[in-house]
Amino acid sequence: MQLVNEKIPANSWINSVIKPEEYERYLVDGKDFIDDDKIWKQIEAAQEPSLERVREILAKAYDIKTLSPEELSTLIKVKDPAVWQEMFEMAARIKHKIYDNRIITFAPLYCSNYCVNNCLYCGFRSDNTHEKRERLNMDQIKAEAEAIAGRIGHKRVIAVFGEHPDSDGDYIAEAIKSIYEVSVKTRKGHSEIRRVNVNAAPLCVDDLRKLHEVGIGTYQVFQETYHHETYRKLHPANTIKGNYQWRLYVHHRAYEAGIDDVAIGCLFGLYDWRFDLMGLLYHAIELEQRFGVGPHTISFPRITPASNSPLFKQSDHQKYFVSDEDFKKIVTLIRLAVPYTGLIITARERKEVRDDVLFVGCTQTDASTVIGIGGYAKNTSCQNIDEQQFMLGDTRSLEELIHDLAKRGVITSFCTAGYRCGRTGDQIMDMLKKGHEKHFCKLNAILTYREWLDDFASDETRKAGEEVIRKEIEEVKKQTPSIFSKKLYDLTMSYYERISNGERDLYI
């Protein structure tokens, strides 16, 4: 008999977790919203478009309208490098139109790597005896949050959990509360985690409600691949993750539970990237149509080597691995297809790749990243493949990233203002689609950047950052009173002064 821990048989645990009635009610004629044949037909039917047609589609994206699957499959067929260049530039313009000149940063916080699943590409899979297993208790989770908020200066984390009876809804809810409790004194003020996003297994509605009640930020679950057959091959049927539809409809359950920000994603390199890109778009459209709110963010990690991973030994799968060139196209196409959404590029990618794709529409990234369990408190700087889910490609510190971005004129934002005043869910979605949110992004980026520079920056980075702030304030001045009222400008400047004097967490 297969066990999920010393006492619990796998089958009975899986049956107790999965509640078929919580996803079957969304099926149409017994089918989910990913129609593999239809997607392939759409991809194959599309022809290389004329420049005129491409520009029509780009104009629609610039109006912040979600593209149709046919439009996305048309853009996938573009071959001309000059047309691609135009698409890269439009993706950057759209990002700026919606989110302004800012990049949000966060840290992943791995709480537990016990996992009952056996995904062929993952270092956490249960068959991997090389992996060192650990589950942090609440004191250890607080110690991680203290290091992240107090030593590095992040204000957002994404707490990550393997799928296991010991990291259930109650444990995750306790972890969120523990992280929010932390506050650390800094050079001029104090620092804390103001937004706890969660990447965890698909939970049932009751468990998701527990996360909602303790103030979860975004609930993030990746489908990994949308292709049913590939999903089946990579996620053994006798594991909980083997149930494709339980996973696919977890965001629906999250909305039912009252969670207002959900995030989708897929692991590129498991199947043909064109198909999975279409799957992401179908997923976004499904959420928009059902709930009126699309995904708050989309992630597009590329598969990277993991401890003792069988997938890397299978030559037939390597044909799906995504080149750097295609990766940039993927990011661009997501920005164009779902223009309002946040896009997350992580430290999985090498610095050169991140520097390249950050500017075709990404809005968030991580830095000073440690993905070994308990690694922030230990102040670990080296990577060990047997202690983490995968290998990182970019180990730059937050300070280094901020300095690099500042040199390129980009402001790093630690804004969590939406959570301070309820600009969440369909409220923020509406503002993003109308292009209003960028104005708040701009002001709050200035305020939170000031906090970080005063509390954590070296002299050199502070100098580079202050030049960025000077330019941003100059822009705000120019847009006053046409966009920002005099009253709002004055309030922002008074907050700026108060922050410079040590007050924290002021927002517009």
Site residues (vs another protein, CB under 8 A): 176-177, 180, 194-195, 212-217, 258, 260, 417, 419-428, 430-431, 434, 436, 439-440, 483-485, 487-488, 491, 508
Q: Considering Cα of 441, then 154, then 103, then 188, what sign does the dihedral take?
A: positive
Question: For the purposes of burial, counting CB atoms within 10 Å of the CB of 32, is it exposed (0-12), middle (13-18) or buried (19 or more)?
Answer: middle
Of 4 and 431, which CB lies nearer to another protein in the complex structure?
Answer: 431
Distance of closest approach, residue 66 Cβ to another protein, in angstroms: 20
State the minimum distance, in angstroms, from the CB of residue 446 to another protein.
14
Q: Which is nearer to another protein, 391 or 488 (CB)?
A: 488
Q: What's the token pair of residue 5?
A: 């821990």
375 vs 425, which CB is nearer to another protein?
A: 425
Closest approach, Cβ 472 to another protein, in A, equals: 16
By beta-carbon proximity to another protein, the closer residue of 188 and 436 is: 436
Say if residues 164 and 116 touch (Cβ distance below 8 Å): yes
Q: Which one, of 394, 336, 338, 393, lies nearest residue 360 by Cα?
A: 336
CB of 504 vs another protein, minimal distance in Å: 13
Q: Which is nearer to another protein, 109 or 280 (CB)?
A: 109
Q: To the nearest whole angstrom, how small is the minimum distance from the Cβ of residue 419 to another protein?
A: 4
Q: Look up residue 444 and give its two tokens.
A: 């709050």
Please choose, from the candidates 384, 306, 373, the residue with its C-alpha nearest in 3D space to the C-alpha of residue 135: 373
Which one-letter amino acid corresponds to residue 495? Answer: Y
Q: Which phi and psi (to 5°) does residue 158 adopt?
A: -115, 115
The nearest distance, CB 194 to another protein, in angstroms, is: 7
Smallest distance from another protein to CB 455, Å: 19
Of 134 and 174, CB closest to another protein = 174
**Strands (DSSP E) found in 225-341:** 262-265, 297-299
Count how many Cα atoms sit within 13 Å of the Cα of residue 470 in the half-sphere of its side chain.
7
* Min dist. Cβ of residue 490 to another protein (A): 10
Residue of 373, 371, 369, 364 lying closest to 396 (CA atoms): 369
Nearer to another protein, 97 or 228 (CB): 97
Chain centroid to Cα 78, Å, comes to: 27
Q: How many CB atoms lie within 10 A of CB 136?
A: 23
Query: Which among 116, 111, 91, 168 has a CA at the least distance from the CA of 337?
Result: 91
Write phi, then psi, for 69 (nearest 5 degrees).
-55, -35
How far is the CA of 496 from the CAs of 244, 448, 482, in angstroms? 49, 9, 21
Say if CB 463 and CB 453 are below 8 A apart.
no
Query: For residue 417, what is the DSSP state?
Result: H
- Least distance to another protein from the beta carbon of 258, Å? 7
What Å distances lie between residue 215 and 141, 161, 174, CA to CA? 17, 17, 11
In the complex with another protein, which residue's Cβ is closer, 261 or 454?
A: 261
Nearer Cβ to another protein (192/455): 192
